[in-house]
Structure 1
Amino acid sequence: MSLPPNFLEELRLRTPLAPLIGRATKLTRAGRQWRGCCPFHGEKTPSFYVYDDHYHCFGCGAHGDAIAFVMQTQGASFPEAVERLAGEAGLEVPKATPQQARREAKQRDLHGVMDLAAEAFQRRLRLPEGRAGLDYLLRRGLSEDTIRKFGLGWSGAGRGALAADLKPQGIEARQLIEGGLMRPGEGDAPPADLFFNRVMFPIRDRRGRIISFGGRVLGDGQPKYVNGPETELFSKRRNLYGLDLAREAAFKGAPVVVVEGYMDVIALHQAGFGGTVAPLGTALTEEQLAELWRLSPQPVLCFDGDAAGGRAAARAAELALPLLTPEHSLRFVTLPAGEDPDTLVARGGPAAFKAVLDAARPLSEVLYEMLAAQSPGATPEARATLRHRLVAAADSIPDKILGAEYRRLLLDRFFAGSRRPAPAFAPRARADRPGFGRGRAGPPPLDLPRPGIDPAEVRQEQARCLLAVLIAHPWLLPEVEEALMQLDLPDGVAARLRYRLVTWQAGAERLEADDLVNHLNETEPEGLAWARRFTRAPPAAAAAKALPKQVAESWWHFYAGLRGEAALLAERQAALRDWQETNDPAAQTRIIRLNELLAVQRRGGMEEDVPGEEA
């Protein structure tokens, strides 16, 4: 017996393909996909590509999803492959029951009913009674090809018209009720049509099967749009209008754009933006967001430039934060006031909407403006509230490194908005200075050359000192590991060396300097040599005889220089929360150390004479 389609869909959603296939063959990033040598035939030049929901080899033609991959690589049957993947995904495989068999048969029947209903609606659009609906679509600028592509139709006047159309084909009113096309009558009254005098929009799932309909009334009737109810085929939370067509366009590189309505989707598809979709009468949901990320790592959410559009953007940002990963984020565009995608394209053509897309803003920027609008004003109370909200938003991101980057960026902007511009001093002669006569100009200022300071070189040297201290005293690694991983170290040798230190510490039986140096000589000799090559004298804390207190103070000194004030403030806030919640002495110690580091920075930067270091 076959398994429920909803279960198989959930299993595929919970089984990322790249990690699964990466067990069998090495994969590397290739744009938005992964690439590697095919595990099914010997090859030297990679021709095997892994996408979000399937893999394909352009050499031997192998193709499939997660279940197919397990079957082909492990010789498993379909039930065995499902069992293995379900165990890893934490899902329980449904047991075969007679009730399930009847439910699957009903779903197959319902798909057939929906197809027949769509054909009836399309036929009725071309009849005299559907002329008003066809004129409306043509007046909105849709071509005949677009009308056919989206299967648009006309419901008729109701009063059992659809049931009468489909009765000769053996369709009963009971099936139309189960499909969400009719509703039961009250008392002895017969079932009634759900849609009447409406332009009809078929709603399809990601595989292109019709699962429901939406209808738009002509004239001033309310509600303007009606979606079919929840059925065994249709869940508003899990589906997006236009998803089946957007999948193909996204695969070919089209941007994935989320708009608000049916006509916006259709108009943008006609204008060449084939990756456009829309929610189905609800705010964006977690399930829809997961579906969007299967199409694109950074879908674009498009909102109207009014108050309702601002609220929708805020809800989407709030929804996305706990789901963000380094690979998945969002971008936002706001349309000009009074415009929606449909009218914008009608007035300015595809170029007008492309200009809007090109101006898409990252989630971090929209998030700051949203939170700042919730805490207006420049009073200490308003600014303190805003800081709390910024930190809380960043802390809601599960990935620690990504959350730290959001904290840094949000707080940097917060502090930048409150800094006063440096005063401009104009040199002038002073008559009252000793040695100058009344009204007599002083000597010209000395214009001696000053050595330039290269910020990149400063960061390189700070990173070198920080890592050199750890190499000499690896016992410090467990204490500073989390802070070390949050640092934005210079690319190249510094970042590689950090990786070697952290991975060595995870598997080391003892944290001894000699063992670490031997490991680096084997795995990262270039990094070891770089960490010992100083333009000035090495820090005293990098010497083997340095005392533990001196070592820790020196390491946190260089850490502070690399992190900056905003990041240190955010860390202090997080440590303070930890201490209040757990009364952990380690958190209290961290607060004290961060306060010391902040005090040093606010005195004008990192001091020349660090505690325990040679001048």
Structure 2
Amino acid sequence: MTLSPQWLDELRARVALSGVIGRTTKLQKAGHEWKACCPFHNENTPSFTVSDQKGFYHCFGCGAHGDVIRWMTDQRGLSFMDAVKELAGEAGLEMPAPDPREARQAERRATLHDVTAAAQDWFQGNLLSNAGARARDYLKSRGFNDRTQERFGFGFAPDDRQALTRALARFDMPMLIDAGLLIEVEGRDPYARFRGRLMLPIRDARGRVIAFGGRILETGKTDAPKYLNSPDTPLFDKGRTLYNLDRAGPISRRSGRVVAVEGYMDVIALAAAGIEDAVAPLGTALTERQIELLWRLVERPLLCFDGDAAGQRASFRAATRALPLLRPGHSLGFVTLPEGLDPDDLVKRDGAEAMERLLGEPRSLLDTLWEHERDAAPLGTPEEKAGLKARLLAHVEDIQDQDIKALYRRELLERFSAFAFPRRESPRKDGGKWIKGAGGRRGSWTPERPTLSPEAAGQLKRAAAGGSRDKLAQAVLAGLARYPREIAWHAEALARLAPVDPAIAAGLDRLLAFADTLEAGPTPPISGLKDYFPLPDRAHYSFLTEGADPLTAREDLAEAVAVLVERPALDAAIAKATARFADDPDGSWVEQQRLRKRKLEIESRLGQMARKRAAEAAHKEQIEASSDKAPGEQE
């Protein structure tokens, strides 16, 4: 079995090095890295470092060094193949099937590096020859000096279909085709892919030439693409490669920043201006694999795309592709250039300082989602506003991390509510009072709390009187009445609950109706609302406790609502599994056990929450009682 470099790179990217090493070695966080006493030799002061971003461990004492596979072979004593198989199982990667052809391809791949290196030497030589005069003039017009040209390896491909074949005649024709340098057409001789173009080498993370990009110089050829990249080859996968990663990687690890721009000319223009931690995708939108490559450098890479419509679409596509990948501490920042300008234009017009200022004030991924969807369509009608809400929630559903998902949902719905239901100022005639400011300042106008109409109060009394005898349902209703602003957050879940739990349907209907009033009405909650939903017996939830921390209360209330909504669905599923016992006794029994275990888990969550709050309240009372004792009464 032969494992390709691409497959091994995928394996290394999927397994957190610190997680593997941390199973047997105690690690301590040290900035972006981890440190420990070296497991390979005896020491008292930590000199062993582990970097998930760089993908290797290193000991400054004994020199031990390697990646996650090397750790498994050196520290665990596994063979290379056994180490790979164990890591692949953890990462969810299937081992490649044995294929004799793969062995031959691996040999050819090593030789293809020789082909691309020879082609690069030939392209660079052409640039310095008489034939490269136009290309040199173009580079001069872009302001790229000799040092920049040399650092990035500029070259030139003459407008000759067979020139490259003749220059690299020492390599077999199939190798030139496999390297992406020749185009094979049935019935014709293979011919050069790059002709009449300024050439740039594309290197892998180790600095080896694996592909090329070419910019056309003959502007009259309107049918030819302006930029042309090598096709995917055994060396080059454009969706897994970032241009300039080999140069920007070490710099970004020192600067703590990496900037992804649209194309390689943008990368070079920024480097020429002194901003050398920039990379670029290669003719495609930023892929999931490229986002992971960026995260191996820094936790919040910056995407800096052009300010035109195409650039903004690219930013939004990158944002949506990142959503399923988000994990704690890892996100993206977005920098928008002035409309009509690319990085080179901005640097030439306003200097590198202007670009640095923009890079220092990126927008968050959440801001990018919100602004794009808010501006994507008219929002003049209720239906159009509902469409905005639906689009936002669809993005939230793409997030896999549950904590991040909940936070995005809350933040986006808050923005939507503020946008769709703007706060209205209460006119002075509504009845209110002036609050005097300190030092005799004029102060501010505060409206009186609104009160329920007699008709609404009667409806609410009847709804509450027919409420559920279930303690959890009573607690949720009472909690929502005490925090009426939270009703809107849970409106969708509560609306699903009402049809399946008639005992609390009336109370929920009235609360949801008041939620609509609150969205369109003044800021203060309706006075006396909680009086209609008294506390259930032995209520210890924080959202039913006077003086509780508002944030904790809202979090506990959200947990209680989630459990209340999930419970009827579990009961229905258990009943369904029981009904098919006669036809499928084994399957029915297994399903019943699974569902009942889940029911016990959610009830346990609530019990733990209530016990915790009760213990906190008892502890607080004990402290207060102790503080009230006279000095001589202290135990």
TM-score normalised by structure 2 residue count: 0.71
Partner secondary structure for residue 180 of structure 2: coil
Correspondence 1:165 to 2:87: no
Shift of 1:281: 0.8
Distance between the aligned counterparts of 1:587 and 1:171, measured in 2? 80
Question: What SS is found at the alignment partner of 2:238?
Answer: coil
Q: CA RMSD in A?
A: 3.4
Corresponding residue for 2:175? 175
Unpaired segments of 5 or more residues in structure 1? 429-443, 450-546
2:50 aligns with 49
Partner of 1:385: 387
Task: Give me the whole-angstrom Cα distance separating, in 2, the residues matched to 1:92 and 1:278.
Answer: 30
Match of 1:154 among 139, 153, 156: 156
Amino acid at match of 2:109: Q
Secondary structure of 2:353's aligned partner: helix
Q: Is the 8 A contact 1:576 1:587 kept in 2?
A: no
CA 1:49–1:590 in 2, change beyond 3 Å: closer, same or farther?
Answer: farther
Query: What is residue 11 of structure 1 aligned with on the other side?
Result: 11
Any idea what the Cα deviations from partners look like across 1:405-424, whole Å, max 9, x if unmatched? 11111111112223234236
Aligned: 1:236 with 2:238: yes
State the 1:395 CA deviation: 2.2
1:508 corresponds in structure 2 to none
Is the contact made by 2:154 and 2:198 (CA closer than 8 Å) also made in structure 1? yes
8 Å contact kept, 2:245–2:279: yes
Q: Is the 8 A contact 1:49 1:55 kept in 2?
A: yes
* Range 304-313 or range 35-44, more displaced: 35-44
Give me the TM-score of the superposition, normalised by structure 1.
0.73
Which of 420, 425, 432 is 1:422 aligned to? 425
Q: Which residue of 2 aligns with 1:194?
A: 193
- In the TM superposition, 1:437-516 aligns within 5 A as none
Aligned with 2:207: secondary structure? coil
Instruction: Report the CA distance shift for 1:155/1:558 in structure 2 as closer, same or farther (over 3 A).
Output: same
Q: Distance in 1 between matches of 2:129 and 2:503?
A: 78
Relative distance call for 1:210 and 1:409 in structure 2 (3 A) is same
Residue of structure 2 in register with 1:502 after alignment:
none
Matches within 5 A, 1:209-224: 209-220=208-219, 221=221, 222-224=224-226
1:407-458 deviation per Cα after TM superposition (whole angstroms, max 9, x unaligned): 1111111122232342363999xxxxxxxxxxxxxxx989699xxxxxxxxx
Q: Distance in 2 between matches of 1:38 and 1:556?
A: 57
Deviations 1:452-472 (A, max 9, x none): xxxxxxxxxxxxxxxxxxxxx
- Please tell me whether the aligned partners of residues 260 and 280 of structure 2 are also in contact (alpha carbons under 8 angstroms): yes
1:33 corresponding residue in structure 2? 33
| Structure 2 counterpart SS, 1:74 | coil
Structure 1 counterpart of 2:526: 604
Unmatched tracts of structure 2, length 5 or more = 439-467, 519-524, 537-544, 547-635
Between the aligned partners of 1:604 and 1:2, the Cα distance in structure 2 is: 71
Label 1:265 to 1:320 Cα distance change in 2 as closer, same or farther (>3 A): same
Counterpart in 2 of 1:569?
488
1:105 to 94, 107, 127: 107
Q: What is the identity percentage for the equivalent residue pairs of Structure 1 and Structure 2? A: 44
Partner of 2:64: 62
Inter-CA distance 591–216: structure 2 relative to 1 (3 Å threshold): farther
Change (3 A) 1:589 1:404: farther
C-alpha displacement at 1:555, in angstroms? 6.4
Count of paired positions: 495
Change (3 A) 1:384 1:8: same
Q: Which AA in structure 2 matches 1:83?
A: K
Once residues 435 and 114 of structure 2 are traced to their aligned partners in structure 1, the CA distance between those partners, rounded to angstroms, is 90
SS at match of 2:266: helix
How is 1:312-351 mapped onto 2 (pairs within 5 angstroms)?
312-351=314-353
Secondary structure of 1:327's aligned partner: coil
1:137 aligns with 2:136: no
Partners of 1:123 and 1:560 lie apart in 2 by: 79
Counterpart residue identity of residue 604, structure 1: I
Quick one: structure 1 residues 414 and 108, their matched pair in 2 at CA, closer, same or farther if it must change by over 3 Å? Answer: same
Q: Separation in 2 of the partners of 1:175 and 1:548? A: 79
Give the one of 370, 373, 395 matched to 1:371: 373
Q: Find the residue that maps to 2:202 and give its secondary structure.
A: strand
Question: Any idea what SS the aligned residue of 1:226 has?
Answer: strand
Partner of residue 24, structure 2:
24
Give 1:2 deviation, angstroms: 5.1
